[in-house]
Amino acid sequence: MAITDATETQAGADVAAVQGAWPFEAKPLSPLMGAEVFGLDAAQPISDATRDAVLDALNRYKVLVLRDQDLTPAAQADFTRCFGELEQHVNREFRGAGVPEVHPVNNLDENDKPARGRNIGNYSWHTDKSYMPLPSLATLLYAVQLPPDGGDTEFADMEAAYAELPEARKQDLQPLRLWHSWERSREKSGSRHATDQEKQDAPPVNHPLVRTHPGTGRKVLYLGNHSSHVDGWPVERGEALIDELQTFATQDQFIYRHTWKPGDMVIWDNRCLLHRAVANFEMDKHVRILNRTVVRGDLPV
């Protein structure tokens, strides 16, 4: 047996051993990231052991897909709350009417007609809530209504991208910190500008450009559309660095694209991924609605 074959066999055995301790099965969706989870109903209460297993699986696969779920907004909020504190949206327009922590992500205009919609920032690469002092750990997105095809979501692996950088480049980036800003993010995406209340709720914060993932101990790039500039640098120079790194980190070899199915609940790790919605469907004809909940994380270091 070749050395590479032996390594792959051992890696497969390690995954199988870990999964044997989980109260569900996880089937990888791609060599890079993502796993389909079987045997977990998000509408039912889960034990602490199951919660810990989900977090363990998230550390391993970064994206988890639970198929054939049937969730009310309240049930989704209850399931999400198992993993930590729920984060409400800074934009009060996007908070759910019945359950404020559940944010409808859709392509509806102000008249509730299908169009590009008001959530246009979703089409830019970002990691959720990096503009907060304690950015999100995970996002849970549940498919409510889908177009007949398209409307995919892409995920870019910031751990894999960082690993591919030359060692000298890693050393140069290590001490840098980025400012993250809801206000600047809105401007960059062409969205409605931030209100005074939003600026008060989410003033700019800075985080390490290279953070250590608390669940794995691995280094990842931490940037995206919410990042504004480099602390201590001229703004234009910092913006150029962010653009350069983001372009590198969102190459095809670092991306998993999720094609949605009715009833999908997708959970992803904001600490090591960028994501974006893909405008690959007839937006002015078909409705796309997904319900989003976000779990608050910890201080990036």
- 74: exposed, middle or buried (Cβ count in 10 Å: 0-12, 13-18, 19+): middle
- 111: exposed, middle or buried (Cβ count in 10 Å: 0-12, 13-18, 19+): exposed
Tell whether the model's pLDDT for residue 70 goes beyond 70.
yes
pLDDT digits (tens, 9 = 90+) for 113-140: 998 767 778 899 999 999 999 999 999 9
pLDDT digits (tens, 9 = 90+) for 226-248: 999 999 999 999 999 999 999 99
CA distances from 4 to 18, 57, 62, 162, 171 (A): 21, 24, 24, 23, 29
pLDDT for residue 195: 85
CA distances from 128 to 45, 139, 204 (A): 26, 8, 14
Q: Would you say 151 and 281 are in contact if contact means Cβ atoms under 8 Å apart? A: yes
Report d(CA 10, CA 21) in Å as an integer: 17
CA–CA–CA angle 104, 33, 77 (5° rounding)? 30
pLDDT for residue 87: 85
Global pTM value: 0.91
Band (pLDDT 50/70/90 cuts) for residue 202 is confident
Average pLDDT of every residue of the chain: 90
Band (pLDDT 50/70/90 cuts) for residue 35 is very high
Q: What is the DSSP string of the chain?
A: --HHHHHHHHHHHHHHHHHHTSSSEEEESSSSS-EEEES--TTS---HHHHHHHHHHHHHHSEEEE-S----HHHHHHHHHTTS-B---SSGGGS-SSSTT-EEEE-B-TTS-BSS-S-GGGGS-B-TTTTSSS-EEEEEEEEEE--SS---EEEEEHHHHHHTS-HHHHHHHTT-EEEE-HHHHHHHHTPPPPPHHHHHHS--EEEESEEE-TTT--EEE--STTEEEETTS-HHHHHHHHHHHHHHHTSGGGEEEEPP-TT-EEEEETTTEEEEE---S-TTTS--EEEEEEEE-----
CA distances from 270 to 3, 85, 209, 263, 294 (A): 34, 15, 14, 22, 10
Phi, psi dihedrals of residue 143, rounded to the nearest 5°: -75, 115
Band (pLDDT 50/70/90 cuts) for residue 177 is very high
Q: Check the CA dihedral 296-134-208-188 and report its sign.
A: positive
Q: Residue 247: how many CA atoms within 13 Å on its side-chain side?
A: 6
CA distances from 45 to 49, 79, 82, 193, 263 (A): 12, 7, 9, 40, 18
Indicate the angle between helix axes 3-20 and 48-61, nearest 10 degrees: 160
